Structure 1
Amino acid sequence: MDPQKRAKSAANGSWEDLKSVCSLIPNMAQDAVLFLPLLFVHLHPAGIPSPQELDAISGTVKSHPKLHRVLAATVALGAFSRLLEMHAVPVDSYLDLWPRIYPWILFVHTYWDAIPPQFVVLGSKQAYSVFSTIIIQINQHPDTSPLVRAAPGLHFITANWWATILRNDGVIVHEGDVTESDGWGELDKLLSFIGLDIEVARNFDEVVDGVGGIRHLASLLLKHIDMALASPPSNFRTGVIVVAFKAAYERIDGDGPFSTALLSRGGISTIIGALSALNTWNVRADSIKPWALMILRDSFQSLKSDRYITKALRAGLLPAIISVAIATQQTRLDGFNDCNALLVQLLEQILPASLVYYRVVRQIKFSLPTALVLASAPDFTLCAILPSWQRFEYLVTHRIAALDHFESPAWVCFKACENLRCMKIAKKSDLEKCSRCGVPYYCSQPCQKVDWKWSHRNVCRKPSQQNFSTREKSFIRSLMEYNFRFFPKLREDMLLRQLTFMYTHPGVAFVTVFDHAQMPLQGWIDVRSLEDTAVPDAPLRLSQLALKGERLQLYAAIGTGRGASWMIMFPAWSSSSRLHDGLAAIVKELPRGMDSHMDLVDFSEVHVGVKAKFCELVAQLDADNDFHRIS
């Protein structure tokens, strides 16, 4: 049969002749547009069977006119995708074609399993490739794009095909093992379509279903970014990476499943690797960096903040911060101010607050030398973040020294027997703790029995889920002691604050608070009344112990991290009441009626002898090693 007769037969409904005619499309590039009217006829929505019809047709007969229309429509869809790839379809026709094409795509996608296989000319992989090609191409027209993006089901289709190509490392495999070696162009277009709409809840749900779950979506996004970074740089590729990071950031859900999957499955390394790699690209890549930094910033404020920060340090966070600062200073491209603001936020707020976590300080000890080499470069001295980096470096240096103190044989954790009639001070390893709640320590079973009868049975409870492990609390305790013992100015400030509080609040039990949420190493101590210090997990007996023999002070460490502000209470024991008695004696000599808000330095110099007596007390306690032991 000649082509004209086949075309007429195809126009009258013959799917065999339609398939034969459409096979000529690749050889008729100049006249391919002539096939559109024929395809237009076979894509009429009236030919779509209803669900009830489809159920009756596929269950009772092997052949039916409506099933032949389905077969012809799938042929037409395949041919139409080829015309789009050849750019043979006038853009102005998209608006007329879409109302016919979309219902057929949705029908075949929805009822794929219900349609007898012999009545679908496309295989499953080829079908999703055809559908995705049509969706992506028609979406590029400004008039049809809103219709495409609002149409249900299409994000599932495009996400499914995107995942299929990515899982095959960018190689497109069609039915019959026919492969295309490079599917990057299609991959990037698919991600651009998916990523721009992923913040919409319905579209996000479709994408998650299309790729097989949230964990798969996170892994695939990271794989796409890694593969894009490994490819030759280009402005188009830069845009795709921006879409990937923006999509990841838009769906960050705190400590939800997507964030957890993204950050636990190599996401931290991918993000920092991107920040480092993009500095070598000769294209406008600064638009990517703010998105990457915002993901890091938000992840560092989650419940797993210290874990993520540790991973980031291991992946090269500090060198990345310096290299990004240098690159943005040299290029001054879009995003320069955003990058600097985010870097300052990391250096001034988020990272300093994490330097109370043992794992973070331990990792930063190994990461700092490489960063210091980069920070010594002349270009870095011109960066806007230099003052923030210098303050951060100073703090890190002292925290590493505190870590060395904690890990040295000189650090010994002391506890006091909880029996108030005993209160023997000894090494933690020489005492036994309550087996039920793990809070109080005792030097012997008789002491435990006495304390149980007197008070502990009223407050003993099984330990709840705690945010801090024993080692972490021990490190924070050693950090407080390190600052107290090795920074005389800090200790002087603390004792003067205690002196002031005792003067302005006679007889009131107080807590000395070490604020680890602030950047400065000094001037971050406060003294508060016990009643005003809310500590959810503090043992109830601390209020009673604080008044027993004046041999105990209460210290608290406060900070931010793991998604919230926190406070940990530490009792501090001494073998005598000399510290409290000495401060009380100084207070007693001060004239009454002084301004309670007076500056500490002025307060200490009101009376000629106060400063001298204060220094004499500190010297005596130092000589006798009679300061409180934080436990």
Structure 2
Amino acid sequence: MHPALRFTALAQLPVRIRLHARRALDDDFENAQSHVVWLMEESRKIHAAFLDDASHDILPLKNLLPVVFHLLDPISIPTVSALVAEDPRNTDATLCRVLPALQMLSAIPNAPPEVFVELWPRLWSWFHVIDCISVQQSTCTQPPERFLPEWVMLGALISMTHNLTSPRVALKPAHDTPGFMPFLGRQWSAIASSPANAITHALYALINTTIGELSSDCTSSILDELAEELVEGRPELARLIVDGMEHHAVPCDCCREDSVTIRNLVNLTGFACMSPPHLVAIRSTGVVSALTKLLVRIAQDEFEFVYVVDQVLRILVFLLSPAENYKSLPAALDAGLLKALLHVMRNDHLRDVSPEPILDFLQSIVPGASLHRRYLRILAPRMDEVGEPTGLRVDLREPWDDMCATVRQHLVAMSEFEAPENVDWTVCRNSECSAVKPRRELRVCAGCRVARYCNRDCQKAHWRRRHRDGCAEEQEVVRSPRLLAHILTRKFRTGATAWEILFHQLLFLEGQSLREDSDSAVIPVTVVSYSAAADVPDVLCVLPLPADADPIELATASRFGRYVVGISDDRSIRMLQHGTSGANARLEGLMALLNLVPEGRSIPVELSDVAREIPTLFAGLVALAKQLEEEEETFF
């Protein structure tokens, strides 16, 4: 037996406490009960004084462990039949012994962590008894203040989770016990379903802290254990996590600020994102909105929340990635995403937060989403709400201004694009249609509101061949290729000459081989930087791919964000094939220019070097540009 559990440890107690402790060990519990109650109240007072002043002597408390160990003797555990009999005397007799013991234990943060190897089996046995009583009491009409076994049951875990020496060593016996995490998940659900008050809020903090300590070194498998005994499984666990973040996003008079609880909730959310089944569940419960609201709260707090803020930002970047088509962005914007980012960039307490996830928002997510009219309309009023912010971090001031300039540019482009005098630039969806009508108003499919056709014959032909099976899927996809084309064309016409665009396409083709498996001519497409800061936009290129291919992603070494245009469906390929009359001539001309490069040499990356070192190539670029301009080629 550990020395701290032996009766000899009582000798180290102050005399007044020692007398009550010895009498509390009386085998006749009726004689011992009053002394047990006195010890319970005294331990509370000592612990409360320690919380108010850490210099207060708390050493006597750990010497009460022999009393706790004695009161939790499993011999005293009542039979199941006695509990099922629903005789209040059986219940009261059980609780009068065990609840004071657990409350004393909850006030002992200085217990040697190794003592729980021997103490835990007794605790675990009694937890099942108290849980059984709690389930019975939940069907009664008694007020919750009268009977709160959950309180002391979870309160006993404080001695482990708040252990002054090593919480992990103290919690190891519990962590190694099969069924303990499912047990905690069920208790969490029971507390969350109780009426909200100071007691249930405190219980919630207790169980969350315990789960957080247990899951600190675990993987997403911890979520499967927590959900194991929940009625609804993963969806119910997801709601518990999200509801917890919603609770902490709003100041509560009865709850003290607890960064540990918030951190644990955020960690569980991170685990959920690593597990596809749990990710599906937590997405559907509003996790993006809850995380954003939480970020708004903690990002303007005076407390030190650097780690938590950084984690929340990274999780939001993952959840709002372009791969998800920005579908969760409206919820984040409604919850105050832009305000939250500004709070982070202003708060001196958060100056150590990494700029990386913030730049993901400023240089990728927000500008990329602004290419979609649906999201651009949501962004506009949110940008107006934040106005012209001041006091931002120096390293993030320019990226913020670039993002705002990009959104404003796209708003202007959208107003031009949607003006009555502009018409539909999309080509016919029927792949067998040979007509080239890039500026004609086309018929739209009444089902998906995406596919467009020259006439009814083209619509019928495409419906029979392909669209009958794909119409429903089209309804779920947000697309904006026409606005994108308008933005790109607008930038080309204002920011780069024809031969500059051709030069960048030539550089791209130099390092690329034409796809042999493509069922159509490969046409280089130029995509410019979406930043307004450069006088002449940098450009990069992408190639159209067959329908079963992934989008090409090209990165460039530049401080400006680059937004990949995924061209992976037959409609996009046809838009490029038929949208401009000189596409094939441009491709053939560029391939011919590649033959002008001397063998063994690469094309210089600077156009001025091309003019000096390979004048024939430069002259060919100028000539090809002039030829295409005469044919009204528009370079997109």
Shared fold (TM-score, shorter chain, > 0.5): yes
- Aligned residue among 274, 293, 296 for 2:316: 296
Q: CA deviation at 1:293?
A: 0.8
Tell me what 2:567 maps to. 567
CA contact (8 A) 1:362 1:403 kept: no
Tell me what 1:221 maps to. 241
After superposition, what is the alpha-carbon deviation per residue over 1:123-180, rounded to whole angstroms, capped at 9, x for unaligned?
9973322311222224433353322333344444544444444444642xxxxxxxxx
Aligned residue runs from structure 1 range 507-522, under 5 A: 509-514=521-526, 522=537
Q: CA deviation at 1:428?
A: 6.5
Q: CA deviation at 1:436?
A: 13
- Aligned residue among 386, 401, 409 for 2:397: 386
- Aligned residue among 431, 442, 463 for 2:470: 463
Q: Which stretch of the first structure deviates more once superposed, 222-231 or 519-528?
A: 519-528
Secondary structure of the residue aligned to 2:292 is helix
Cα gap change, 1:490 to 1:264, in 2 (>3 Å): farther
- Aligned residue among 411, 416, 421 for 1:405: 416
Tell me what 1:342 maps to. 357
- Aligned residue among 603, 625, 632 for 1:598: 603
Aligned residue runs from structure 1 range 95-244, under 5 A: 95=116, 98-99=119-120, 101-108=122-129, 126-141=148-163, 142=166, 144-168=170-194, 170-171=196-197, 181-182=198-199, 184-198=201-215, 200=218, 203-209=222-228, 213-228=233-248, 229-231=250-252, 237-244=258-265
CA contact (8 A) 1:225 1:270 kept: yes
1:272 aligns with 2:301: no
Cα gap change, 1:597 to 1:82, in 2 (>3 Å): same
Q: CA deviation at 1:230?
A: 0.4
The 1-side partners of 2:25 and 2:589 are apart by 108
- Aligned residue among 299, 303, 324 for 2:344: 324
Which amino acid in the other structure matches residue 627 of structure 2? L
The 1-side partners of 2:211 and 2:508 are apart by 60
- Aligned residue among 41, 44, 57 for 2:73: 44
Which amino acid in the other structure matches residue 402 of structure 2? R
Which amino acid in the other structure matches residue 152 of structure 2? V
Secondary structure of the residue aligned to 1:251 is helix
Cα gap change, 1:294 to 1:323, in 2 (>3 Å): same
CA contact (8 A) 1:43 1:100 kept: no
The 2-side partners of 1:339 and 1:246 are apart by 18
The 1-side partners of 2:593 and 2:200 are apart by 84
Tell me what 2:630 maps to. 620
Q: CA deviation at 1:384?
A: 1.3
Cα gap change, 1:191 to 1:487, in 2 (>3 Å): same
Q: CA deviation at 1:112?
A: 6.1
Q: CA deviation at 1:8?
A: 9.5
Secondary structure of the residue aligned to 2:523 is strand
CA contact (8 A) 1:494 1:526 kept: no
CA contact (8 A) 1:163 1:211 kept: yes
Q: CA deviation at 1:321?
A: 1.8
Cα gap change, 1:136 to 1:203, in 2 (>3 Å): farther
Q: Alpha carbon RMSD of aligned pairs, Å?
A: 5.4
The 1-side partners of 2:237 and 2:174 are apart by 22
Secondary structure of the residue aligned to 1:91 is coil
Q: CA deviation at 1:267?
A: 3.2
Which amino acid in the other structure matches residue 606 of structure 1? P
Q: CA deviation at 1:618?
A: 4.8
Tell me what 2:560 maps to. none
Which amino acid in the other structure matches residue 598 of structure 1? I
Which amino acid in the other structure matches residue 615 of structure 2? V
CA contact (8 A) 1:132 1:157 kept: no
Q: CA deviation at 1:290?
A: 0.8
Higher relative contact order (CA 8 A, sep 6+): 1
Tell me what 1:246 maps to. 267
CA contact (8 A) 2:24 2:67 kept: no
Query: How many pairs align?
Result: 561
CA contact (8 A) 1:233 1:283 kept: no
After superposition, what is the alpha-carbon deviation per residue over 1:246-303, rounded to whole angstroms, capped at 9, x for unaligned?
332233236533x445444443333333333334433323332112112212212375
After superposition, what is the alpha-carbon deviation per residue over 1:179-224, rounded to whole angstroms, capped at 9, x for unaligned?
xx55544432332111232363665344335665433433333443
What percent identity do the matched residue pairs reach? 13
Secondary structure of the residue aligned to 2:524 is strand
The 2-side partners of 1:284 and 1:506 are apart by 54
Cα gap change, 1:153 to 1:239, in 2 (>3 Å): same
- Aligned residue among 359, 365, 368 for 2:380: 365
The 1-side partners of 2:501 and 2:34 are apart by 91
CA contact (8 A) 2:341 2:358 kept: yes
The 2-side partners of 1:590 and 1:297 are apart by 41
Which amino acid in the other structure matches residue 567 of structure 1? I
After superposition, what is the alpha-carbon deviation per residue over 1:361-404, rounded to whole angstroms, capped at 9, x for unaligned?
33222222334411xx2x22x52122333433343333333332
Secondary structure of the residue aligned to 2:374 is helix
Q: CA deviation at 1:414?
A: 4.0
CA contact (8 A) 1:11 1:41 kept: no
Cα gap change, 1:134 to 1:149, in 2 (>3 Å): same
Cα gap change, 1:247 to 1:621, in 2 (>3 Å): same
Gap regions ≥5 residues in structure 2: 1-18, 47-59, 556-563
Q: Which stretch of the first structure deviates more once superposed, 16-25 or 184-193?
A: 16-25
Cα gap change, 1:482 to 1:370, in 2 (>3 Å): farther
Cα gap change, 1:294 to 1:397, in 2 (>3 Å): same
Cα gap change, 1:305 to 1:151, in 2 (>3 Å): farther
Tell me what 1:396 maps to. 407
Cα gap change, 1:482 to 1:133, in 2 (>3 Å): same
Which amino acid in the other structure matches residue 496 of structure 2? K
Which amino acid in the other structure matches residue 101 of structure 1? R
Cα gap change, 1:308 to 1:574, in 2 (>3 Å): closer
